[in-house]
Amino acid sequence: MRFYREITLADGEVIVLRSLEKQDAGAAIFCLRQTSGETEFLLREVSECGMTIAQEEEVIKRKNDEKRGMLLGVFAGDALIGMAGLNACGAFERVRHRASIGISLLRAYWGRGIGTAMMHALIDAAKDAGYEQIELDVVEENKRALALYQRLGFKVAGHMPRAMKYRDGRYAALTLMVLSL
């Protein structure tokens, strides 16, 4: 599914949230590498962001073709500064009411309300797609993201200890959260 929305930040800057298109593949890989290197709160090591343009184009096409999933880019002018995904939790009838989401934004743009706008876009799209609940998991130490999700009504649904392991041997636990739509 596709999405388009313009938002105006408190300082007047206009940000566009729209589905990624084939021509955004290179920027999407760059953005993924950049965000993955800027925080320990995402899933991938930077060295695991090595997909080719062709592979990324295929991911974008598949997402746009899905009826109940999307891959959103966040644009400041021509620059891709963040990405967000809406995904079905599964294809079987018994889980068709559940969606999962993820968001990331370049550090330089944190704290200006863009993450909140990304979440509103995902929530609205999930409602349009007929989902009944949105699920996510967040690294326990990620206080900024936790505060954002709680402010939007997400409730803590669980705790997964040692869910991620860093290269230096440290573990991180995940907090599981759910929003009823």
Ligand X SMILES: CC(C)(COP(=O)(O)OP(=O)(O)OC[C@H]1O[C@@H](n2cnc3c(N)ncnc32)[C@H](O)[C@@H]1OP(=O)(O)O)[C@@H](O)C(=O)NCCC(=O)NCCS
User: Among residues 129 and 146, whose Cβ is nearest to ligand X?
Assistant: 146
| H or E stretch at 65 | helix 53-65
State how far the Cα of 133 lies from the Cα of 180, in Å rounded to an integer: 5
Min dist CB 42 to ligand X, Å, is 5
State how far the Cα of 79 lies from the Cα of 50, in Å rounded to an integer: 20
Q: Which residue has the CB atom at the shortest distance from ligand X?
A: 115
Q: Does 145 bind ligand X (CB under 6 A)?
A: yes
Q: Does 143 bind ligand X (CB under 6 A)?
A: yes
The only residue of 144, 157, 176, 181 in contact with ligand X, by rule CB under 6 A: 144
Q: Does 73 bind ligand X (CB under 6 A)?
A: no
- Contacts of ligand X in 151-180 (CB under 6 A): 151
Residue 33: phi and psi, rounded to 5, are -60, -45
The only residue of 25, 72, 123, 148 in contact with ligand X, by rule CB under 6 A: 148
Burial 74-107 (b: 16+ CB within 10 A, else e): bbbeeebbbbbbbbbeeeeeeeeebbbbebbbbe
State how far the Cα of 65 lies from the Cα of 73, in Å rounded to an integer: 16
- Contacts of ligand X in 29-58 (CB under 6 A): 39, 41-42
Residue 90: phi and psi, rounded to 5, are 175, 170
User: Among residues 57 and 154, whose Cβ is nearest to ligand X?
Assistant: 154
| Chain residues that interact with ligand X, rule: CB under 6 A | 39, 41-42, 103-105, 110-116, 136, 138, 142-145, 147-148, 151
